[in-house]
Structure 1
């Protein structure tokens, strides 16, 4: 099938690399008008020139004034993909207040502010909106060692998504979560390379995946496409686990 997002207006946070970038390219290929955003403007600028990529936008989701300005510039969208996030490590005893706050801000408050900015635009025009939030299997779904602040923040994002879905279910506004396992992205590679023994860290990550491999950004983007397009119009408030069997 082609053109699954034909003519639909999409904004994606964290579109400079990994899942966000793969989703921007796939959505554009499927006919969407995509506004990729990222704190690093250079990364999203690289997407410009691809058919369907309208404009690269620098956006720091930790600054509410930036979020509001972007919503004002872009206007109503059909799809909001809150993909930006951060993966801190550590147990509860190793988690500082600063790490906790940063995880909550990047992984929850950013999506909160983006949704708060774009939902009223859809309500005003009485048009539908699909919100796709990037949560994780490491959340309220599955306890994972050394992921305290990260898992709590991603569990909170699931709760936020359900709240939005419940509040606007009768107004054509949907909200769903993607909950991946371990995905091979530049961010993941960076965490592995920063470990004491990168080779062993990579082996350990692969070993915990029951399929014996990591997921790819393109595989997660394919699920995001389904949740973004009208094929999933009867779906809201759900968590979609895509983890290679990690939760089994």
Structure 2
């Protein structure tokens, strides 16, 4: 009697990142952590894992080909120092972001500024820091920015601020892509719907309202 082998949910590695040096922000959990693991499976020579959470980042510290750095992505000087420490970067994944769940009129100016600093200005810092390396290499490079369906794609209740930041990310991505396409720089944005990450699960109760559930679904 024959049996069907179990199918793994993890895609087979193809070595497409063999020899590449990568930077991943928000690397200690969720999408960022999964990306670090995927980059390693694909043969990356080095993954620089950046996060503000030292405790969670420690789980990656023992991995070979991983360099962990505790850093706030809104710290421009810190990002520039990181780029001086790690040269010849080929891939940059801007994953860091925060979500403020409230209506537009509940949003304060301080929250507006903070969310734009983390979700958008941080990408300004990282791209400005690492793009020159990619250009000088002559081999091009890849920049991936984390967007969201809560952007120019659709409106999500209690996410007007978050949606505004992610719409800005889409505009930034398209602009960088057009500026440097002839120098073999690829700049793309991924726009997922809500993903069951630790940060999302903490805020999950905000999505229990029936109108919000239908909007998200």
**Over the residues paired in the alignment, what is the CA RMSD in angstroms?**
1.9
Whole-Å Cα distance in 2 between the matches of residues 185 and 133 of structure 1? 17
The alignment status of 1:38 with 2:45, answered yes or no, reads: no
Structure 2 residue corresponding to 1:173, chosen from 155, 180, 185: 185
The alignment status of 1:185 with 2:185, answered yes or no, reads: no
Check conservation: 1:15, 1:21, Cα contact below 8 A. yes
Q: How many residue pairs align between the two structures?
A: 204
Check conservation: 1:182, 1:205, Cα contact below 8 A. no
The alignment status of 1:159 with 2:171, answered yes or no, reads: yes
SS state at 1:42 partner: helix
Whole-Å Cα distance in 2 between the matches of residues 69 and 26 of structure 1? 26
TM-score normalised to structure 1 length: 0.77
Whole-Å Cα distance in 2 between the matches of residues 126 and 2 of structure 1? 24
Structure 2: gaps (5+ residues) = 1-12
Q: Report 1 or 2 for greater relative contact order, CA contacts < 8 Å, sequence distance ≥ 6.
A: 1
SS state at 2:203 partner: helix
SS state at 1:180 partner: coil
Check conservation: 2:142, 2:185, Cα contact below 8 A. yes
Q: Offset of 1:7 from its aligned partner?
A: 1.2
Range that drifts further, 169-178 or 39-48: 39-48
- Superposed CA deviations along residues 23-46 of structure 1, whole A, max 9, x for unmatched, are 001111111121110011232221
Structure 2 residue corresponding to 1:48, chosen from 47, 61, 65: 61
Moved over 3 A (4+): 202-210
Aligned to 2:149: 137
- Superposed CA deviations along residues 167-215 of structure 1, whole A, max 9, x for unmatched, are 001001110000010100000111125x5xxxx82988766555xxxxx
The alignment status of 1:201 with 2:208, answered yes or no, reads: yes
Aligned to 1:147: 159
Whole-Å Cα distance in 1 between the matches of residues 14 and 211 of structure 2? 38
TM-score normalised to structure 2 length: 0.88
Check conservation: 2:51, 2:69, Cα contact below 8 A. yes
Aligned to 1:63: 75
Check conservation: 2:156, 2:216, Cα contact below 8 A. no
Aligned to 2:125: 113
Whole-Å Cα distance in 1 between the matches of residues 136 and 208 of structure 2? 49
Structure 1: gaps (5+ residues) = 211-248
SS state at 2:61 partner: coil
Whole-Å Cα distance in 2 between the matches of residues 165 and 50 of structure 1? 32
Check conservation: 1:47, 1:56, Cα contact below 8 A. yes
Whole-Å Cα distance in 2 between the matches of residues 157 and 28 of structure 1? 26
Aligned to 2:39: 27
The alignment status of 1:87 with 2:99, answered yes or no, reads: yes
Closer, same or farther in 2 for the Cα pair 1:44/1:167, shift >3 Å? same
Max Rg structure: 2
